[in-house]
Amino acid sequence: MRLCVVVFMGLWLPFVAWAGNLPIPEQGPALRLQGSNTIGAALGPALVRGLMEDQGLLRVSSEITGRDNEQRIVGQTADGRRVEVDIAAHGSSTGFTALKQASADLAASSRPIKDNELKELSSLGDLKSPAAEQVIAIDGLAIILHPSNPLRQLDTVQLARIFSGEAKTWEAVGGTGGPIHLYARDEQSGTYDTFKELVLSRQGKRLDPAARRFESSEQLSDAVSQDPQGIGFIGLPYVRQAKALAIVDGASQPMLPLNHLIATEDYPLSRRLFFYLPPWGTNPWAEALVAFTQSDKGQAIVAANGFIAQTVEAMAVTPNALMPEGYQALSRHAQRLTVNFRFEEGSASLDNKAHQDLSRVLDYIQQHGKADRRVTLVGFGDAKDDPARADLLSKLRAMAVRRELVKYGVALREVRGFGALMPVAANSEDEGRVRNRRVEVWVY
């Protein structure tokens, strides 16, 4: 046994012994993860167990703490020392609060950090930097009904009318069944924050106070599946026995929360799940969990827990008459990768996830022998500007991705721009326009 002193958040913490390459604290948990219930209920614990096993710990298991939505993952070193990781899953905002209070080492969030949280946590470093803001998975917010409800699709405007209480009966949105019963996540939830941002706030509406609120995703889903008049919103892994609806946003096609539509973030209610790792005074276990999560092993755990892994795969796209002829021709001869490159708002700069995805796309291209003129980039824009400008900008964004790939020896077959065609979101405001500004990767 040897003693090591690690500096974390300005504190000197004594560590004794080691698990793999990671130090074990003399007392208390090696890692404290707080935040999103969507992540913390099952995915976070599964990733922690995977990390512990990867570090060679034995008898890895979960312990109940006696507090709702909290658990402890424990393991043992070969010489019998106990290693603990504490996980609290009370909602995304609680993770950032815990970082501020130095009661967590890593925040789990099912929404991006807010500007006010970023400012309050500035003493920990820039939490929007690529190393700090880590997209760990893609999730889709599913709109769920009782399995017997015959409704097949709703648009985001109808959803806002329903959940604000403006549309009070199923008949008001083209369905049947009388009064609508609303089910929603609680105020601390990143799931609720995302729904509020993607649906309610965009229409200038607030959640109906009559909605039943839940801290637990599983309990909400089960309640809807037992109520023929119920409707709720939930993270994709928690659809359970309920029925998911197809969603339309603006001029987009109706989309079910299918894996490939969520992987590319085309599905209107897709969202990113995050770990936020403080850049200054980082706990080595937090750093290791982030690295493990981004690895192939970690992403396999993401998929096994019902979320969408960021593993890049090729998928066939069926051409249809709504596609431009050039896009139809592409879909007949090539396959699309399950990743879209997106850009910082108001910028031609790749966002943090795009920088992470570059290495994944490069790995795919190299492993599958696509580096020599076997890749086509397809850019899209939005309808805010005139069509000619949208066409130009869509190609310029594709060229920005091309520059990055060329640095690593990839010779492109073609770079194309389709302007404002084939929107995946409403162009009526910034959020939708940002989602429409994307670059697809196709391989032959």
- Residue 362 sits in a domain of what CATH number? 3.30.1330.60
Does 174 fall in a domain? yes
Let me know the angle formed at the C-alpha of 60 by 55 and 64, rounded to the nearest 5 degrees: 135
Q: Identify the pLDDT of residue 345.
A: 67
- In the predicted model, what is the mean pLDDT of the chain? 91
Are 228 and 148 in contact by the 8 Å Cβ rule? The answer is yes
Residues 244 and 198 in one domain: yes
Contacts of 118 (CB under 8 A, 6+ apart): 127, 128
Does 171 fall in a domain? yes
Residue type, 414: E
Does 272 fall in a domain? no
Say whether pLDDT at 346 is over 90: no
Residues 25 and 128 in one domain: yes
Nearest CA among 354, 368, 335 for reference residue 401: 354
Q: What is the number of domains present in the chain?
A: 3
Does 378 fall in a domain? yes
**What is the C-alpha separation between 291 and 418, in angstroms, rounded?**
36
Q: If phi over 0 gives left and psi between -120 and 50 gives alpha, with beta otherwise, what is residue 146?
A: beta
Say whether pLDDT at 348 is over 60: yes
Does 267 fall in a domain? no
Helices (H) and strands (E) in the chain, counts: 14, 21
pLDDT tens-digit series, residues 269-285:
999 999 999 999 889 99
Taking CA atoms, 162 is separated from 51, 141, 153, 282, in Å, by 42, 16, 13, 44
pLDDT tens-digit series, residues 88-109:
999 999 999 999 999 999 999 9
Q: Is the dihedral of CA 367, 53, 292, 274 positive or negative?
A: positive
Within 150-264, residue ranges assigned H as helices are: 156-163, 190-195, 217-225, 259-263
Among 122-136, 204-218, 335-349, whose mean pLDDT is lowest? Answer: 335-349
Which DSSP category does 123 fall into?
Answer: G
Neighbours of 93 (CB within 10 A): 21
Residues 258 and 239 in one domain: yes
Residues 326 and 369 in one domain: yes
Are 138 and 153 in contact by the 8 Å Cβ rule? The answer is no
**What is the C-alpha separation between 310 and 361, in angstroms, rounded?**
10
pLDDT tens-digit series, residues 365-406:
999 999 999 999 999 987 766 777 778 888 888 999 999 999
Its domain, for residue 67, covers 3-132+277-304
